[in-house]
C-alpha cells in the first residue's frame, strides 16, 4: 500500500511570514505528484501537478518543488496572507489512481 | 468547468437504512471516484470507475457498493448505513489536458455530508 505523508500536520504563522510544508512518498511506482488547496466547507482545488525530478511550479506567492529520487515535494508560501489559510493536500498518482496524504492545515494570523 | 453535481448535498439517516449518493458529470470523463473525508485521515478512496460498468475498490470499500450504468452517473450506495459512515463524501473526475505536464488532474464535486444516527 502506497503511503503519502505530510508534515507538519498543522501550523500557525503570522501574516507576512513565509512558510513551507513537506510531502513524502515512495520514490518507486511514481507518475505524478499533486498539490491541492482545500478551504473549509469547500472542495479541494488543484494547485500544481509535477512529474519530473527537479520540477518547479509557481502560482503567485505559492511554489512547489519535486524530488522523485528521494521521494519528497515541498510547497512554499511567500509572505503568507490570511486568505492562504486552508488545508494543503498532497497526492501521488499513477495513470488513474490517486493516493492522498492527510494534509497540512495552515492558519495565517492577521 | 467539469460540471460535477453531487446529490443530495446533505442527508441525515438512521442506522440500518440504505443510502444512495449520486454523482453526475456533464463532460463524458472516463474516470470517476468516490472519496470520504474524515478528520485525521484526509481523503480516502472508496471506489472508482474507469468506464460504464467498470468499477474497482479503493482502500475503504467495505460497506459500500457503486454502480455506473451511464458515463455521466456514478452512484455510491450504503446498503445498511452505520454510524461509522458518517462523513463528507466527495465525488471526483480525472481530467486530461488541465496540466502542462500532461498528467491528469482530479476535479472534485461540492461534497455530500451524510450523518448516520
Reported as a single tens digit per residue, the pLDDT across A72-100 is 999 999 999 999 999 999 999 887 888 89
| Cβ contacts of B35 on chain A, cutoff 8 Å | 100
Q: Is the bond preceding B8 in cis, omega lying within 30 degrees of 0?
A: yes
Q: Does residue A55 sit at the B interface (CB-CB below 8 Å)?
A: yes
Instruction: Please judge whether B105 and A50 are an interchain contact, meaning their C-beta atoms are less than 8 angstroms apart.
Output: no
What's the first-to-final CA gap in chain A, in angstroms? Answer: 40
**Does residue A29 sit in helix, strand or coil?**
coil
- Name residue, grid cell 480525472: B94
- Contact assignment for B103 to A44 by CB distance below 8 Å: no
User: What is the pLDDT tens value at each position of chain B, 117 positions in all?
Assistant: 558 999 999 999 999 999 999 999 998 899 999 999 998 888 999 999 999 999 999 989 999 999 999 999 999 999 999 999 999 999 999 876 656 666 788 999 999 999 999
A10-36 pLDDT, tens per residue? 999 999 999 999 999 987 767 899 999
Strands laid side by side in the B4-7 sheet: B4-7, B19-25, B73-78, B65-70
8 A C-beta contact, residue B98 and residue A47? no
Q: What is the pLDDT of residues A29-51, one digit of tens each?
A: 678 999 999 998 899 999 999 99
- Which pLDDT value is given to residue A3? 84
Q: What is the pLDDT of residue B107?
A: 92
pLDDT of residue A35: 96
Contact A15, A29 (CB under 8 A): no
* B32–chain A nearest CA distance, Å: 9
Q: Cis omega before residue A8 (within 30°)?
A: yes
Amino acid at each position: 500500500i502506497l503511503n503519502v505523508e505530510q508534515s507538519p500536520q498543522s501550523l500557525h504563522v503570522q501574516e507576512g511570514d513565509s512558510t513551507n510544508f513537506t510531502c513524502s512518498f515512495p520514490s518507486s511506482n511514481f507518475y505524478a505528484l499533486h498539490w491541492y488547496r482545500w478551504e473549509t466547507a469547500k472542495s479541494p482545488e488543484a494547485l500544481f501537478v509535477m512529474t519530473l525530478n527537479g520540477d518547479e511550479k509557481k502560482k503567485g506567492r505559492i511554489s512547489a518543488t519535486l524530488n522523485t529520487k528521494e521521494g519528497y515535494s515541498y510547497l512554499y508560501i511567500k509572505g503568507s496572507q490570511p486568505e492562504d489559510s486552508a488545508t494543503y493536500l498532497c497526492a501521488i498518482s499513477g495513470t488513474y489512481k490517486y493516493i492522498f496524504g492527510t494534509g497540512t492545515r495552515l492558519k495565517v494570523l492577521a | 468547468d467539469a460540471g460535477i453535481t453531487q446529490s443530495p448535498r446533505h442527508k441525515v439517516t438512521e442506522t440500518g437504512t440504505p443510502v444512495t449518493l449520486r454523482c453526475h458529470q456533464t463532460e463524458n470523463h472516463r474516470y470517476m471516484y468516490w472519496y470520504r473525508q474524515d478528520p485525521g485521515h484526509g481523503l480516502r478512496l472508496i471506489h472508482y470507475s474507469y468506464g460504464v460498468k467498470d468499477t474497482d475498490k479503493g482502500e475503504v470499500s467495505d460497506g459500500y457498493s457503486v454502480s455506473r450504468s451511464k458515463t455521466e452517473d456514478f452512484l455510491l450506495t450504503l446498503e445498511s448505513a452505520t454510524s461509522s459512515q458518517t462523513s463528507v463524501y466527495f465525488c471526483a473526475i480525472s481530467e486530461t489536458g488541465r496540466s502542462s505536464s500532461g498528467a491528469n488532474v482530479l476535479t472534485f464535486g461540492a461534497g455530500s455530508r451524510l450523518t448516520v444516527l
